[in-house]
Structure 1
Amino acid sequence: MFCRVSLELRYEFNAIGNWTTKSPLSDKLITHSQHPRSVMVWAGICASVKKPLIFVNLGVKVNKDYYLREILQRVLKPRFKSHFGRRVWIFQQDSAPAHKVKEVKDWCNVNFSGFISTQELPTYSPDLNPMYYSVWSILESRACAKPHKSLESLRHSLTREWDLITLEEVRAICENFSSRLRPCIKAKGGHFETS
């Protein structure tokens, strides 16, 4: 599951015209970029394991080839195969374009016996994906509690905070998954609210 975490470079705006005196708030004014620099990161979890973060290099486009080769084949399959052995496990991904390509779906069906394809999930429901309804927001809020001056600082903070998320937290999030499925089933895949 990929997430993009943005770095807002904060700076003071000192371009007050000659026609006025300096505003007492001018030193505190913070501006935001329309396109802040960011890092893209992949993570994999289940109730019994949390694997290390994988950072995508700057400028790399995560297309089907990159996703299949660098994430699924090189990272996901070996890491989770070593953890689960021959036991069946569920693999769920979101609806990112690289995930929906036939070649990727076919590879996942062959290599992951418990693969949930994007067609089996509601079109857009972050409430049904543990990474979205909990993990990414926990990680981002902890790692970005203070502003970062560089992408390296952001990466370091994400890694540190990821390592501090306990397996007990991850287990509780994953165990909450079935309680999130019930309202979806009751609504027959339609609109529903979760608490």
Structure 2
Amino acid sequence: MIDIDGVYNSQNDRIWAVNRSEVDIKGGIQQKRKFTQKVMIWLVVCSKGVSPLVIFENGTVDHDRYIKEVLPFALKFDNKMFGNNWTFQQDGAMPHNHAKSQEWCGKNFPSFIDKDHWPPNSHDLNPLDHCIWNELAQAVKWNAVTSKETLIMAVKRAAKKISKDILLESCLSWTNRLYRLSQHKGDYLG
């Protein structure tokens, strides 16, 4: 979810600091409008690139909407990038874990990591969460974002600016991150 006030994910964003004043210096205090305009975005990230954005301007995404609007798009994009030799990974969001979504993925993707084999809250293993969302947010020209329409345009431009080197590095670090996470018994890597 991205709104015109910027990006902050209270579930995944962490600031490591010695004390509160250091947190504030690093951007720990975030001001938000009470009823801000926002959009939900979804994209595929892989070592070869970033997909075009799937943008949800209104409402939230349940499993039906995820199956109808997102999964066929992911299948088409990934088949174009990799042919039939790729694995689909998603996080633990409720629409992703729904039985019908899991069934769709099992029937349509060449390979995918189902909810029973993916650790919950695994942001350290998801390139989007540990790297790419930040790159996207840094590339947005926030001073030009004044409405939902300008937000959508700015996010689309920002997604095109994410460097292929960052994508490749983020994806290549996956096995190392998996090993480190196992050494930390699933705790955050920091």
TM interval, short-chain normalised: 0.7 to 0.9
Structure 2: where are the runs of 5+ without partners? 7-30
Cα gap change, 1:190 to 1:57, in 2 (>3 Å) = closer
Max radius of gyration: which structure?
1
Alignment coverage as a number of residue pairs: 167
- 2: distance between equivalents of 1:94 and 1:34? 28
1:176 is matched with 173
- 1: distance between equivalents of 2:174 and 2:149? 33
Cα gap change, 1:184 to 1:36, in 2 (>3 Å) = same
- 2: distance between equivalents of 1:53 and 1:190? 30
Matched, 1:165 2:162: yes
SS at match of 1:146: helix
| TM-score, normalised with respect to structure 2 | 0.79
1:81 is matched with 79
Residue identity opposite 1:190 in structure 2? G
Structure 1: where are the runs of 5+ without partners? 10-30
Residue identity opposite 2:154 in structure 1? S
CA contact (8 A) 2:124 2:188 kept: no
1:17 is matched with none
Matched, 1:95 2:100: no
2:151 is matched with 154
| TM-score, normalised with respect to structure 1 | 0.78
CA contact (8 A) 1:144 1:154 kept: no
CA contact (8 A) 1:47 1:171 kept: yes
2:18 is matched with none
- 2: distance between equivalents of 1:110 and 1:67? 15
Q: Deviations over 1:1-21 (max 9, x none)?
A: xxx111139xxxxxxxxxxxx
Q: How far did 1:147 drift?
A: 5.6
Q: Deviations over 1:84-126 (max 9, x none)?
A: 222x212111111111111110111122232012221222121
Q: How far did 1:33 drift?
A: 1.8
CA contact (8 A) 1:8 1:32 kept: yes
RMSD of aligned C-alpha atoms? Answer: 2.1
Residue identity opposite 2:52 in structure 1? P
- 2: distance between equivalents of 1:66 and 1:35? 24
Q: Quick one: percent identity of the two aligned structures? A: 27
**Greater fraction strand:** 1
Of 182, 186, 189 in structure 2, the residue corresponding to residue 190 of structure 1 is 186
Residue identity opposite 1:43 in structure 2? L
SS at match of 1:90: coil
Residue identity opposite 1:164 in structure 2? K
CA contact (8 A) 2:144 2:150 kept: no
Residue identity opposite 2:150 in structure 1? S
SS at match of 2:112: strand
Residue identity opposite 2:186 in structure 1? G
- 1: distance between equivalents of 2:64 and 2:166? 33
1:105 is matched with 102
CA contact (8 A) 1:91 1:114 kept: yes
- 2: distance between equivalents of 1:81 and 1:165? 21
1:19 is matched with none
Segments of 4+ in structure 1 off by > 4 A?
Answer: none
